[in-house]
């Protein structure tokens, strides 16, 4: 009661923060309906850019490529990261601390350096042609550490006597993993995937270096559109789609999260 003033200040600050966050996106959304190819001056309302978007096969192809790459990366990197996180948490061995810290490396190294290193590695050392495999390997290398971190965080809060209980009741290690450990790690696995998918989908810097001919992803395509296209307004349209889709996804997920309350 007595802090009514500071409450008001907080509300104003919060609204300000959200405006800052949402402002550009709102402007972008509005201008995607603007009947002007260069989009600085408002002319009239139209949805023709959305129609054109779906008829420009180059854009659609790059979207599909990006979705494919992000999907494969998410599955593989989440798998690797979860198993690595489990190993780093559960098993005591020499150099464990060092290995745990070194996981940070791909996240802390500047992307351009990481990208350059990967390019040199692929072209000069293992002589691997640039294309889908190189993009996916590169994406895994910077996104698996994320899964390791998410998994390690979850493991701190898991009651490990549950694994022992499973073994005590007659399950071997493999069955215990399948029936107890993985269900317990499911929130972490899920969180990793949700984090990695957009991370991979959005990546520009590293993909720019290791992509080959014919493997232009959406971010690369948008970048080239900004440079050379006659219709930059298309970017507004596609951006809005990619803002709304994950937003709906997040809302649906948080709804289902509330349903599953049995794990505390």
Q: Is 93 helix (H, G, I), strand (E, B) or coil?
A: coil
Cα distances (Å, whole numbers) of residue 254 to 75, 139, 148, 197, 259: 21, 27, 23, 17, 9
Note whether 7 binds another protein by CB under 8 A: no
Note whether 170 binds another protein by CB under 8 A: yes
CA distance 233 to 240: 11
DSSP 31: H
Q: Which residue from 12, 14, 164, 178 is in contact with another protein, where contact means CB under 8 A? A: 164
Q: Which residue from 78, 166, 215, 217 is in contact with another protein, where contact means CB under 8 A? A: 166
Q: Which residue from 169, 213, 248, 251 is in contact with another protein, where contact means CB under 8 A? A: 169
Q: Is 51 helix (H, G, I), strand (E, B) or coil?
A: helix
Whether 183 and 145 have beta carbons less than 8 Å apart is answered as: no
Nearer to another protein, 174 or 251 (CB): 174
Q: Which residues in the 104-163 window bind another protein by CB under 8 A?
A: 159, 161-162
Give the range of 36-44, 87-95, 169-177, 246-254 binding another protein by CB under 8 A: 169-177
Nearer to another protein, 92 or 97 (CB): 92
Residue 188 CA from chain centroid, whole number: 14
Closest CB 188 distance from another protein, rounded Å? 14
Interface with another protein: number of residues (CB under 8 A): 21
Note whether 8 binds another protein by CB under 8 A: no
Nearer to another protein, 97 or 168 (CB): 168
CA distance 143 to 141: 6
Q: Is 34 helix (H, G, I), strand (E, B) or coil?
A: strand
Nearer to another protein, 7 or 164 (CB): 164
**What region, left, alpha or beta, does residue 91 occupy, with left being phi > 0 and alpha being psi -120 to 50 degrees?**
beta
Q: Which residues in the 173-212 window bind another protein by CB under 8 A?
A: 175, 179-180, 183-184
Residues 6+ apart with CB under 8 A from 34: 42, 43, 44, 45, 46, 233, 236
Q: Which residue from 30, 68, 167, 191 is in contact with another protein, where contact means CB under 8 A? A: 167
Q: Which residue from 1, 98, 168, 248 is in contact with another protein, where contact means CB under 8 A? A: 168
Residues that bind another protein (CB under 8 A): 159, 161-162, 164-172, 175, 179-180, 183-184, 261-264
């Amino acid at each position: 009661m007595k802090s009514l003033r500071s409450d008001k200040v907080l509300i104003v600050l919060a609204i300000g923060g959200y405006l800052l966050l949402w402002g550009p996106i709102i402007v972008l959304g509005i201008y995607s309906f603007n009947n002007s190819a260069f989009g600085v001056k408002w002319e009239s309302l139209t949805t023709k850019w959305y129609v054109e978007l779906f008829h420009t096969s180059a854009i659609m192809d790059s979207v599909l490529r990006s979705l494919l790459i992000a999907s494969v990366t998410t599955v593989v990197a989440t798998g690797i990261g979860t198993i690595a996180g489990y190993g780093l948490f559960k098993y005591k061995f020499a150099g464990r601390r060092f290995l745990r810290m070194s996981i940070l490396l791909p996240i802390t190294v500047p992307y351009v350096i990481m990208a350059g290193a990967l390019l040199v590695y692929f072209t000069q050392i293992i002589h691997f042609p640039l294309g889908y495999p190189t993009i996916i390997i590169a994406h895994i290398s910077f996104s698996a550490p994320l899964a390791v971190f998410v998994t390690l965080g979850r493991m701190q809060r898991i009651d490990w006597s549950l694994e022992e209980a499973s073994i005590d009741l007659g399950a071997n290690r493999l069955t215990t993993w399948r029936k107890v450990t993985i269900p317990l790690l499911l929130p972490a696995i899920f969180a990793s995937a949700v984090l990695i998918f957009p991370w991979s989908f959005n990546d520009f810097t590293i993909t720019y270096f290791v992509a080959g001919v014919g493997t232009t992803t959406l971010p690369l395509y948008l970048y080239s559109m900004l440079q050379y296209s006659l219709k930059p307004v298309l970017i507004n349209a596609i951006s809005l789609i990619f803002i709304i889709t994950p937003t709906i996804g997040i809302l649906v997920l948080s709804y289902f999260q509330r349903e599953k309350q049995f794990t505390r």
